[in-house]
Structure 1
Amino acid sequence: MTAGAVYVGRFQPPHAAHLGTVREALAHADHLLVLLGSANLARSVKNPFSAPERAGMLRRALREAGADLRRVTFRPLPDRFDADLWAADVRREAAGVFGEGAPVSLVGFEKDASTAYLRWFPGWGRLPVPEVPGLNATDLRAAYFTGRPLPDGVPEGVRTFLARFTGTPAYPRLRAEWAAVEAARAALPPAARLHEERWLQVEGERAWLHTRRDPIGSGLWELPGRVLPPGETAAGGVEFAHPARALVAPTTAHVYREAVPAALPARPVPLALALRTPRRFHEDHHVIFMRLLDGAARSSSPG
């Protein structure tokens, strides 16, 4: 029996495989820390539910399954689109729950590139869990946003939440986004990789942003700019090319730290508001915003 274990996941939404993993972990660990990933990202077809909503679904499902919730701690975990920063966040959360230097085991099995992080924690133990074939949250979301019956393996508490969520304003927006993402992907050449140009303009206590009107990310802020047609590339700027940063296709962003061109729509918003509301931003634009501002602050510091 290990003292502490850490289980990282997006749980969008939770399903039977997630519950099985939690129960297996609790059979081998005194306490389990569940880290709810992508907690800083706006609602999208990839991440439709907030960290508190996912924690609530997991608690209900685990309670229904008879798990001892006193042995489970839930914490939000932001996406950083940087392996070192993200792994440091995981270690920091584990130290906060189990104590600095406490022995920790990481829960999970490597199914694809999305779980390669299991190798990023030298010195931690591994608590392998059995894979549940044929069950994944991607297919579950596809059924949910296209109005098809949910597959088997969705706990009753999760089904109840999903049924209620269809009555919120977010659900029709996400259904429209799902259709738009699928159409955009279908219009691209096979294995397309895109480029986009973005501008970061901050003056005094204001930042220039654009509010999206497209069905994908409707109503969210983005750095002003444009996605280039397939086959076109951009030059210069600071590049952001994490493979999971964009919803439609792998996209490299070229971000220029200069005034937004007059031809592009943008308006000033209070910098303090932009800083404290990451979930009002499209895709990873708040992560880019914060990283470039932090870099600018460091480069202007004396010594």
Structure 2
Amino acid sequence: MTDLPAAVYVGRFQPPHAAHVGTVLHALQRARRVLVLLGSANAARSVRNPFSAQERAQMFRAALREVGGSPGRVVFRPLPDRFDADAWAADVRAQAGEVFGPGARVALVGFEKDASSAYLRWFPGWERLGAPEVPGLNATDLRAVWLTGQPLPRAMPGAVRTFLAQFAGTPAFVRLQAEWKAVQAARALLPPGAHLHEERWLRTEGGQVWLHTRTGPVGQGLWELPGRVLPLGRTPPGGEAARFTHPARALIVPTTAHVYWESVPAGHAARPVPLALALARPRRFHEDHHVILSRMLSRGEAGTLRLRP
């Protein structure tokens, strides 16, 4: 029996699995409506985020219909990565306000399994609605199984299984498999707990921004700020730079980006792209480079910016 007007469930759902569906069903027992926010909606297709927000909503709706989960009471909306706790939490509150109305009684759905669920404490005044935990089931392992061609586990809803099988016949899946192998190979060359540093340069002039198009298997075809990843143990020599340190910003291992607002040094390939076009296409960028570009432009100056988890 419902006794709450609204519940909010935040996740990446890459892909949705049985525990995610079960959590929404659990929330529907308490709340009249559930808002599912699909995180990392501004991230390019990658081994960490292989599916767009639209694709994840499609899978999730189909999985709910399979189990009679009242999909008409569930609202799906995209939620971009901000790599800034305050801005991200404000986005969540704004989405809830738009869907349920200002001042609505809201419960946040979820259970604290690790540091990634620390966000559950960022919403003072919201109630907490616990989620049923399914031990040993997580989307990271499911992506690994799928990308390496192993049989999908029973915990995968039938509708999701069908979608993944169809997706596996696309060129995007072939590219993701190549990226998976490259990421695993790169990690194998680094010691446990490795942390890297990279230098990047931001040049804007005449309504254009200078970008590099990646050619290797990791992020192939995506834009990035021109620069280089430094060898393990090396840090930039100094100078005024914006620092971007979020532990989840890089695909291979945690990497701190040192971004200089100046001309691109010789030897680093880059070409001008209309700035308005670049800003309008976040999913065309590798990792968090669109976030870096947007935040540095919003500050209007090169300074020390430390992004919080």
Match of 1:51 among 53, 68, 74: 53
1:293 aligns with 2:297: yes
Per the alignment, residue 306 of structure 2 pairs with: none
Give the counterpart of 1:229 among 207, 217, 231: 231
The letter for the 2-side match of 1:37 is G
Cα distance in 2 between the residues matched to 1:121 and 1:7: 13
Shift of 1:101: 1.3
- After superposition, the C-alpha distances for 1:130-178 in whole angstroms (9 at most, x for unaligned) are 2001111011000111111111200000011001101111100000000
Residues 1:26 and 2:28 aligned together: yes
CA distance in 2, matches of 1:134, 1:64: 23
CA distance in 2, matches of 1:189, 1:201: 34
Write the deviation string for residues 272-300 of structure 1: whole angstroms up to 9, x where unpaired.
Answer: 1101000000000000000001111899x
Partner of 1:76: 78
Check whether the contact 2:198–2:258 (CA below 8 A) recurs between aligned residues.
yes
Which residue of the partner structure matches residue 132 of structure 1? Answer: 134
Structure 1 segments of 4+ aligned residues over 3 angstroms from their partners: none
For residue 228 of structure 1, report the CA deviation from its aligned partner.
0.3
Secondary structure at the aligned position of 1:91 is classed as helix
Q: Superposition RMSD on alpha carbons, in Å?
A: 1.2
| Equivalenced residues, count | 299
Aligned equivalents of 2:173, 2:7: Cα separation in 1: 34
Distance in 2 (alpha carbons) for counterparts of 1:152 and 1:9: 21
Secondary structure in 1 matching 2:300: helix
1:298 and 1:46 mapped to 2: Cα distance? 30
Q: TM-score, normalised by structure 1?
A: 0.97
Give the unaligned 5+ runs of structure 2.
304-309
Query: Which SS does the other structure have where 1:150 is aligned?
Result: coil
Separation in 2 of the partners of 1:199 and 1:279?
20
> 5 Å matches for 1:116-155?
116-155=118-157
Partner of 2:263: 259
What does residue range 1-303 of structure 1 map to in structure 2 within 5 Å?
1-234=3-236, 235=238, 236-296=240-300
Aligned to 1:294, the other structure's residue is in SS state: helix
Give yes or no for contact 2:223–2:285 (8 Å, CA) kept in 1.
yes
Distance 1:23 1:79 in 2: 26
**Whole-Å Cα distance in 2 between the matches of residues 151 and 182 of structure 1?**
22
Counterpart amino acid of 2:287? E
Amino acid at match of 1:287: V
Q: Secondary structure at the match of 2:36?
A: strand
Counterpart-to-counterpart distance in 2, 1:118 and 1:204 = 43
The secondary structure found in structure 1 opposite 2:134 is coil
Matched residue, 2:307? none
Give the percent of matched residue pairs that are identical in Structure 1 and Structure 2: 70
Distance 1:298 1:135 in 2: 43
CA distance in 1, matches of 2:302, 2:129: 39
SS of equivalent residue, structure 1 residue 5 = strand
Cα distance in 1 for residues equivalent to 2:82 and 2:55: 21
Q: Output the amino acid matched with 1:34.
A: V
Does the residue aligned with 1:246 lie in a helix, a strand or coil? coil
Output the amino acid matched with 2:145.
A
Quote the Cα distance in structure 2 between the aligned partners of 1:173 and 1:231: 31
